[in-house]
Amino acid sequence: MNSTFLEKEDLQYCFENMNESCYRIPLSSGLRITLYILLGLLTILTVCGNLMVIVSIAYFKQLHSPTNFLVASLACTDFGLGLTVLPFSIVRSVETCWYFGETFCRFHCCLDLSFCQASIFHLCFISVDRYVAVNNPLIYPVKFTVPVSGMFIAAAWTFSLIYSFSIVYIGAYNKGMQESLNTPSCIGSCQLYFSKTWVVVSFLLFIIPFFTMIALYSRIFAVAKRQARMIEIMNNNTQSSINYSDRVAKRERKAAKTLGIAVIAFLAFWSPYVIIVIINDFLSFTSSGLVYDITFWFAYSNSAINPLIYSLFYPWFRKAMKVISSCKILHFDCSTMNLFSE
């Protein structure tokens, strides 16, 4: 907790009757209400938006594809984050104290890390899927099947859970780390302290998928641009309409572009937090609680972005949302309806 801006007589404690209580930063009632409303709306948007993606892909049979199953699993990570992690993070950020106990703090951190790391792996696997679809459209249906997609999903979730529980219960809560960072433990705080070993591991688990996705999407966009130029030349020479295979290729390229935007958004929203963690551990610098709050809420807001990206670039998602929001699926069997305009 950061109390550098408070006079000594203004200091408040998370638990007034405990000597080892953390300091509490008092906020005005207006500011607290505003923060609760803004962060609450962000949480609701995260939960409802990603739930809409999950229901759409699960209900409409036309959306049952390996790529969309990966997208649905990615939406599950963001949905889980919004449902189980963000409500408690709101209270911690606004009240500047953790009131839910150390045991639940560790479990909360495990869920937080699991969902965030699972998002990274899902986006990386989606980039692999798009790379094969755009570069080898003829063999893509044979190589990337629903079982393969299921294996990727299982690998992402399994590794993320193992990693998060390892880092929280083995590497992150080292008392020696807290002493070396001059941040003594106090009651009412829920902060992960990473040893340098775990910082390196976490950095590698972020940077390796980062460069993998950048490399794959760079190749995807280059191939997509070349394919679009070739199709245009062929159509001009033959003066014929675009056939079915061309429409499928166009749809694959558009999907790659949309998911590429989602990847860029993820990297943009999460990079500040990763940079702060690295600076703190390798430059012996301790950031204030306010800086941590800003960076991780900036990162959290990425979970609400993906449904907005889909609604902007996917006509099928907008059509599915209209059907679901109008409750037609409760009265009619709409699962086989055509969602694609082409």
Q: What does DSSP say about strands 12-13 and 23-24: parallel, antiparallel, or unpaired?
A: antiparallel
**Which one is predicted more confidently, 338 or 256?**
338
The C-alpha atoms of residue 227 and residue 247 are separated, in whole angstroms, by 12
User: What was the pLDDT predicted at 111?
Assistant: 93
Q: Please say whether the beta carbons of 15 and 187 come within 8 A.
A: yes
Q: What is the pLDDT of residue 70?
A: 93
β-strand partners of 23 = 13
Say which DSSP state 17 is in: T
With 0-12 / 13-18 / 19 or more C-beta atoms within 10 angstroms meaning exposed / middle / buried, residue 225 is exposed
Rg, the chain, Cα only: 23
Q: Residue 338 burial (CB < 10 Å; 0-12/13-18/19+)? A: exposed
191 phi, psi to nearest 5 deg: -130, 130
Query: What was the pLDDT predicted at 185?
Result: 66
Are 47 and 79 a contacting pair, CB within 8 Å? yes
Q: Which residue has the higher pLDDT, 241 or 49?
A: 49
Structure token pair of residue 250: 């166009």
Give residue 341's pLDDT.
Answer: 61
Higher-pLDDT residue of 9 and 42 is 42
Domains located in the chain, CATH noted: 31-307 (1.20.1070.10)
Asked if 43 and 94 count as a contact pair (C-beta separation under 8 A), the reply is: no
Report whether pLDDT(249) > 80.
no
Structure confidence at residue 228 (pLDDT):
62
Q: Average pLDDT over the chain, rounded to whole?
A: 80
Residue pLDDT, tens place only, 66-99: 989 999 999 999 999 999 999 999 999 998 889 9
